[in-house]
Amino acid sequence: MRWLQPGIEQKLFEGDQTGKCPKYSLLDLDQGNFRSAGEIWAASLAQSGPPPCCLKLWCYRYLCDGEIQIQHISKEDVSDAEYISLLSPKLSRPLRLQELIEDILSCGYNGPVNVEKREEILRAVVLHAILQLLPLLSQLREGLKLYGLVDLMDQYPNICQPLFVPGMEVKADADFVFAACQPEFSEKGSYKERLEVSVMNHLQGFLQELEACVLPEVGDTVDYLGHLSPSMFLQWLTGQGHIPVLPEEKRNFRVFVQFNHTCDIQYGSHRVCM
């Protein structure tokens, strides 16, 4: 199950480490891929697997209750590169604005296209980029209904939020990966202990070298195929490249949340071990 999570995130979502939105894909919608993703996430959480922890906050809130608060949507909630380019400061330039008239009108804006109306144009682009994703999120929400997970999210939104929305520090660095190892060494002073310490020192140096590697094309904050970073090293080991949910957050989730396995008749009411 843990190996499916990164694949789902890469194929169906786009954004950065602060949060992602579904990629606009009618093919994936027609094939029911977002519903399948929701079912996989629900099954993973029910079996104490890794949480998705990749969504933007507005996406999570929509999954909880199926409603969107348009007044709270801003340009920071947009993940599609095409619409992000339309929201750039270049719209302040009259010539650039005229070049983008067709793209602006395709977003549902039907007012005059000029610099004075820039804020209204930007708002139309933001709403168009967000609202077109609702059918995809609705299908994802249908998949999350497995085991009654959506009902739990609606009932305990704050407790479930860390499972779906990354915090400020989400990408694992070299120090986090090394500290998470917690090795148990052999008898102090023995040959085995010296060998084991040497291995851990090499691992620490390896992780620090990965973190220090700066790519001139994309910078040092972006992971891509062909480049190894501490977070990708952790993802290779565990299936997740971000810092996992804190134990205290997981305990809170376990205390309040009970999954419905629809197997009460066979086994009686029971709680999933988280």
Q: What is the pTM of this model?
A: 0.64
Q: 3-state class of 171 per DSSP?
A: strand
Of the candidates 6, 23, 35, 27, the residue with the CA atom closest to the CA atom of residue 146? 35
* Tokens read off for 220: 């040092």
- Could you tell me if 96 and 90 are in contact, meaning their C-beta atoms sit under 8 angstroms apart? yes
Q: How confident is the model at residue 63 (pLDDT cuts 50, 70, 90)?
A: very high
* Mean pLDDT across 85-91: 76
Quick one: 17 and 81 in the same domain?
yes
Rounded Cα distance between 19 and 59, Å, is 9
State residue 92's pLDDT score: 65
Rounded Cα distance between 129 and 80, Å, is 7
69-78, 122-131, 203-212, 247-256: segment of lowest average pLDDT: 247-256
* Mean pLDDT across 61-88: 91
* Mean pLDDT across 87-116: 81
State residue 141's pLDDT score: 97
- Could you tell me if 242 and 171 are in contact, meaning their C-beta atoms sit under 8 angstroms apart? yes
Amino acid identity of residue 88, one-letter, is S
Residue 43 has pLDDT above 80, yes or no: yes
Containing structural domain, residue 42: 1-167
Quick one: 133 and 209 in the same domain?
no
Quick one: 24 and 151 in the same domain?
yes
Q: How confident is the model at residue 260 (pLDDT cuts 50, 70, 90)?
A: low
Of the candidates 17, 22, 37, the residue with the CA atom closest to the CA atom of residue 78? 22
pLDDT per residue over 217-249, tens digit each?
444 444 444 567 887 777 777 766 656 555 555
* Tokens read off for 44: 């993973």
- Could you tell me if 50 and 13 are in contact, meaning their C-beta atoms sit under 8 angstroms apart? no
- Which residues, listed in sequence order, are joined to residue 138 by a DSSP beta bridge? none
Rounded Cα distance between 257 and 40, Å, is 18
Quick one: 152 and 196 in the same domain?
no
Quick one: 135 and 2 in the same domain?
yes
Quick one: 128 and 183 in the same domain?
no
Residue 250 domain-assigned? Answer: no
Q: Of 118, 137, 167, which residue constitutes the final position of a domain?
A: 167
Quick one: 34 and 151 in the same domain?
yes
* Mean pLDDT across 105-113: 90
Q: How confident is the model at residue 273 (pLDDT cuts 50, 70, 90)?
A: very low
Of the candidates 129, 139, 144, the residue with the CA atom closest to the CA atom of residue 29? 139
Q: Of 151, 167, 183, which residue constitutes the final position of a domain?
A: 167
Rounded Cα distance between 48 and 56, Å, is 23
Q: How confident is the model at residue 50 (pLDDT cuts 50, 70, 90)?
A: confident
Quick one: 95 and 117 in the same domain?
yes
State residue 218's pLDDT score: 42
Rounded Cα distance between 70 and 127, Å, is 8
Residue 117 has pLDDT above 80, yes or no: yes
Q: Report the sign of the C-alpha dihedral through residues 170, 174, 175, 181, in that order.
A: positive
Average model confidence (pLDDT) for the chain?
Answer: 79
Rounded Cα distance between 21 and 245, Å, is 20
Quick one: 108 and 31 in the same domain?
yes
pLDDT per residue over 21-39, tens digit each?
999 999 999 999 999 999 9
Other Cβ atoms within 10 Å of 209 Cβ, number: 12
Residue 251 has pLDDT above 60, yes or no: no
Residue 112 domain-assigned? Answer: yes
Measured CA to CA in angstroms, residue 156 lies from 152, 164, 244, 257, 259 at distances of 6, 13, 19, 8, 13
CA Rg value for the chain: 23
- Residues in Cβ contact with 46 at an 8 Å cutoff, skipping those fewer than 6 apart: 146, 147, 149, 259, 261, 272
Quick one: 102 and 199 in the same domain?
no
State residue 231's pLDDT score: 76
